[in-house]
Amino acid sequence: MKVGVFSFFMVFFWWSLVFAQAQTSKVQWQVGYVAGQLLNSYSGAPDIGLQHSIVISGSRDQSNKSWAGLYKNVHTGISAKWSTLGNNDVLGMEWSVLPFIELDGLLGLRYNVGLGMSYFNKPYDAENNASNKAIGSSVTWAFRLEANKTLLDRPSGILLIGLAAYHASNGHVVLPNYGTNSLGLHLAYRLKHTASEVNALEGQVVQPKHSNQKFYYVRYGTGIHEFGTAWGPVGGPKKLVYTINTGLGLSIKRYLRLRADAGVRHYRQFWNYLERHPNDPLAKAGFLNASAVYVSAGGEFMTGHIGMDVSVGIYLFKPFYRRFFELFENGSDFRYLTHRYIATRLGLNYYLFPSDTQKNYNVFVGMHVNATYGKADFTELSIGLIRFIDSGQ
């Protein structure tokens, strides 16, 4: 189980939404250029110059889908990005494939959120490229957030300008893993649909008619990571993280799901450490002390078969983290408290039935990055079942 496998299936799921499912709108193409700066994420980082990116995107207008009724002018698509990273000798180049959703939002801006995978041609190598501690593996997760404004509108196309933020990380699967973070100015040209295509789409818009529904769900996840912090130690064994999670929630017209849940998690890395250190006080109840209990709240934005999922929680029980902090972190009390207690999770779920189907249950598989206060903890594959308490017709 590697991050590339997770990312491949995530991209495949989104591809099925944009290109493989029955569609009534044509693909809308866009080409863009981003000039930006990669931010230093660790001490001793190499000198970094200007970052250049070329982005080619294909998207479809999904406004005629019933699940899009709560969004404004929503598109889904896939983009391919090539980037220099400001230091070709150490950081090399990056190629990314990012499924995305795009919609109108606050301040008259058009927002684009993408989650996919990147390939780096010069990751960390202890012998040949030890200065690159940002990326420990060739394949990583990739995240993008853009806010664009129309600069010029012509019958044939639209010129857009905006700001773009990018992040790449392998989800703590391979160390070192400081990740890359960059900000840039985005300039893009998008081809327009013809007038007949626009009129056809406007005549097909479907407004949501579903009522709100309560639901409960259960999920089992298996994650993978290395034992250490962002800098290392490098080359350690990869072990699994097991999670069982259940919760209750409210589905708002089947297109936005809000939930509260609780879960139990067991870290095989932590248990292995305690087995190797039998004199550690935590080793007396090693299995228990290598486990964690948490509560969280989350939201899932549904787009047909796919849900974009995010949650924030609090660890109620995680005794081994004190030992982990002493071994690898040794920071301030504030750093300890935030990383000890705050849990975050971001990823995608793929459902067997689309969100507007009149079913009182559904099953899903998901790919997520789990973090402690924004710092990657492990990458996870999960399966689950959701059951709606009422019909919500």
Domain boundaries, the chain: 3-202, 213-388
Statement: residue 325 has pLDDT above 90? yes
Q: What is the pLDDT of residues 286-321, one digit of tens each?
A: 999 999 999 999 999 888 888 989 999 999 999 999
Q: Is the pLDDT assigned to residue 20 strictly greater than 80?
A: no
DSSP 335-348: HHHHHHHEEEEEEE
* pLDDT for residue 196 is more than 70: no
Residue bearing tokens 């993408």 = 114
> What is the CB neighbour count within 10 angstroms for residue 56?
14
pLDDT of residue 22: 46
pTM (predicted TM-score): 0.86
Instruction: Supply the pLDDT for residue 164.
Output: 97
Q: Does the domain formed by 213-388 have CATH 2.40.160?
A: yes
- As a whole number of angstroms, the distance between CA 91 and CA 121 comes to 8
| Torsion sign across C-alpha atoms 65, 71, 73, 77 | negative
Which band of pLDDT confidence, cut at 50, 70 and 90, is reported for residue 210? low
Q: Are 102 and 59 in contact (CB under 8 A)?
A: yes
Instruction: Tell me the two tokens of residue 6.
Output: 């997770």
Residue 277's CB is within 10 A of a number of other CB atoms, namely 13
Amino acid 243: pLDDT = 98
Position 255 scores a pLDDT of: 82
Task: Name 164's bridge partners.
Answer: 146, 184
Please tell me if the domain spanning 3-202 has the same topology as the one spanning 213-388. yes
> Residue 334, SS3?
helix
CA distances from 83 to 4, 94, 148, 368 (A): 19, 5, 20, 24
3-202 CATH: 2.40.160.20
